[in-house]
A and B are shown apart, each in its own frame.
Chain A
């Protein structure tokens, strides 16, 4: 049974992810079909970040709405796990860029790693919680 804060968070996140995908698709389409100048490309690159900022805003709102201290701490821990893996991959990629003729990880890999790992961490946490509940019962 999900709390109101969790339901609100999931709803907001689904909308923001949809907005991110639409904005990314639109920006990609504009770049490939309209061939804008360099200045416009820089502006287009900034547009999808609005959705990213909104994602983090959703997280902040969830942490404010969530009254359960344990769930709040778990959520921050999941984000920390996501950030850890992102920074590890970033450090690895940076090193390769520096010393392997400029070849690092492909674009969008780090962003994907961050959210996927955060999601996996949350799944593991909820699985561990469920096992503990069953043991107590």
Chain B
């Protein structure tokens, strides 16, 4: 169960280690691309074509990260680890869709501005991370018992 407590410890499966490295790279790439896109739009992208072009670019690391998630589920041989990831994905999806629906209703009926930009992705990622952390704590308690 050590692999759940700390993904970098010796107990983590090779698939999980490689997945964590890839996610870290993609998150860094996402931040860099987002900042670069914002900079280009502010300084050089007032035209509508460039605006649409730069708004699509930050999606590339997101696509790559979720494709990597799918590949990890294929590569992972430990059934329990796979179940933990699946649960985390489901909770992340629930948080994302719940936030989306509340946001949509408020925009449609209360005429308020919804969440600030880029909050939804943060909600999805945070919910997944919290679920994994909670599951690892629950497992540690069970191990101790």
Contact = CB atoms under 8 A, between A and B. Distances in A.
Main secondary structure of the interface of A (DSSP, over half): helix
A49 to B, nearest CB: 5
Contacts of B97: 52, 55-56, 111, 114
B93 A79 contact: yes
A123 interface: no
Given A53-B98, A86-B96, A100-B51, A94 B117 contact: yes
A91 B96 contact: no
Contact of A73 (B63, B73, B107, B108): B73
Contacts of A116: none
Interface residues of A, number: 45
Nearest to B97: A52
A107 B117 contact: no
Nearest to A54: B94
Given A83-B66, A84-B66, A107 B102 contact: no
Interface stretch (A1-9, A10-18, A40-48, A128-136): A40-48
B141 interface: no
